[in-house]
Structure 1
Amino acid sequence: MPVPTKASDPCRPQDVVVTFETDKSDYAWDDKPEIEITVVNTGEQTCTVDMGPTTMEVLIASGDDRVFSTADCAKGDKAVVKKQLRRGVPQSRTITWDRKRSWKDCRDGDVDARRPGTYVATLESDYDVGAERQVFRLN
C-alpha cells in the first residue's frame, strides 16, 4: 500500500495501532457488553481509516458457535465510518451488543443469545494486528 499523501488517502496498516477491549469481563443478566475499538496513526501524514462494521468487524462466539457479527446486514451509510487520523490522536468507536444473535443472511435477528456462559470477541480487519481477543462472561 502506498504512503498516504493527503488526509483522504487510506492509512497503511503498519502505521495504525488498534486497541480492542470490552468495558467489563463479567456482565449481569440484563447488562449489554460494550466493546471499544481505538485506532491511532503512527505515520507522519494524516490519513483515513474506515472503522465501519464491515471493515472493522467485531465477531462474538461461544465455543464454535458464531453468535454475532457487526458485519451481518450492515448496508449503506451504516457500513462506512471513515475517520481521519492525525498522527498520535486516537479515534474510537464503541459497539454495544444487544445480546441478540445475528445472521449473515439477515434472517430474524430477535433470537435471544443471552445464555449464561463464556464468550469471545475478536476483531477482523486490515488493521487488527495486535488487537487481542476479549473474553467475557454473561451471567
Structure 2
Amino acid sequence: GDREAELGLPFSPLCDRKSTMVAQSQVGFIDFIVEPTFTVLTDMTEKIVSPLIDETSQTGGTGQRRSSLNSINSSDAKRSGVKSSGSEGSAPLNNSVIPLDYKNFKATWTEVVHVNRERWRAKVPK
C-alpha cells in the first residue's frame, strides 16, 4: 500500500500500515479481490460454456458429445480395462450435458457481492 499511496493510486485497506479496520478491510477485500476474481471467472465461463452450448444445440442436444479430453466413456473403459483417474469406487464417468443457467450466474454473484459489501460499509466507522 505504501507505493500505491505514493503514486496516488487506490489501495486495499488491508495494505494500509496506519490503520487496519475489519469493516474497511472487508470492503477492500471485496473491491480488490472478490469482485475482480469473479469477473474474470464469469468471463472465462462464458467463453468456455458458450461454444459447448452451441455445439450441443447443433447435435440436437443428445448429450452424446465426446471431446478429446473425455474420449473414453465409462462403458468403454470397463470393456478395455482402462481405469478412471478418480479414486477406487468413484462414480462412473458421465459425458452427458448438464443443464446450467450460466447467464444468470453473473447477476446472482453480483447481487450477493453488492449486499455483502453494503453490510460491511454500514459497519465502517464514520
**TM-score category of the 2 structures, normalised to the smaller one:** under 0.3
Which structure's CA Rg is the greater one?
2
Give the structure-1-normalised TM-score.
0.20
Q: What is the TM-score normalised by the length of structure 2?
A: 0.22
Instruction: Point out the structure with the larger helix share.
Output: 2
Whichever structure has more strand as a proportion of its residues is 1
